[in-house]
Amino acid sequence: MADWRPNLIPAASYQDPRAAMEWLEKAFGFEVFMLIEDPSGAPAHIEMRFGDAVVMIGSEWTDDHRSPKSVGGKTTQTVHIHIETDVGAHCERARAAGAEILSEPETQFYGDRTYRCRDPEGHIWTVAQTVAVVTWEEAEQATGLKITGWV
């Protein structure tokens, strides 16, 4: 077992977790650091690392753990990835791997340049790169929103 683990680890269910693992490596640059296989060689549990973050990839193991592909493309959460490198190049890498780009890279009022995509089974991922340091006052002025808790 790893001696380091983050306090929060999202988990995503897939019809084909091995294909998802391979796609996440190709599209986003995730690295497998734990793969547990059953006696037939099928993945029983996968943990993938991206920088200091971890995501668990698994199969559809109960009626409550389904891939969006199995429930008409519906999803109740997305995963946000923060990168240090060129978000435009990252978007092109994901597109080349077969991601459906839902929104092209665009600079947001809070200083991040983001894009959104859907993976082959329907999970939605947001990818962001900080391109400008914005104060909460500047963000409020730009949006007309009241912002509290901005660090």
Q: Are residues 13 and 46 in the same domain?
A: yes
The sheet with strand 43-50 has its strands ordered as: 11-14, 53-59, 43-50, 31-37
pLDDT of residue 122: 96
Residue 129 is assigned to a structural domain of this protein: yes
pLDDT at 149: 83
Within-domain flag for 36: yes
Q: What is the pLDDT along the chain (151 residues), one digit of tens a residue?
A: 456 788 889 999 999 999 999 999 999 999 999 999 999 999 999 999 999 999 999 999 888 888 989 989 888 889 999 999 999 999 999 999 999 999 999 999 999 999 999 999 999 999 999 999 999 899 999 999 998 887 6
Token digits for 54?
A: 């971890």
Would 7 be classed as within a structural domain? yes
Specify if 67 maps to a domain: no
CATH number reported for the structural domain that contains residue 114 in this entry: 3.30.720.110
**Host domain of residue 83:** 77-146
Residues 25 and 82 in one domain: no
Query: Do 81 and 141 have their domain in common?
Result: yes
How many domains are contained in the chain?
2
- The pLDDT of residue 2 is 54
* Whether 81 and 41 share a structural domain: no
- In a domain, residue 139? The reply is yes
99 occurs within a structural domain? yes
Are 94 and 49 found together in one domain? no
Same domain, residue pair 87 and 119: yes
Do 129 and 82 meet the contact criterion of CB atoms below 8 Å apart? yes
pLDDT of amino acid 142: 92
CB-neighbour burial class of residue 32 (10 A; exposed 0-12, middle 13-18, buried 19+) = middle
User: Does 69 map to a domain?
Assistant: no
pLDDT of residue 84: 95
User: Is residue 3 classed as helix, strand or coil in its secondary structure?
Assistant: coil
For residue 5, the model assigns a pLDDT of: 80
Residue reference for tokens 């991206």 = 50
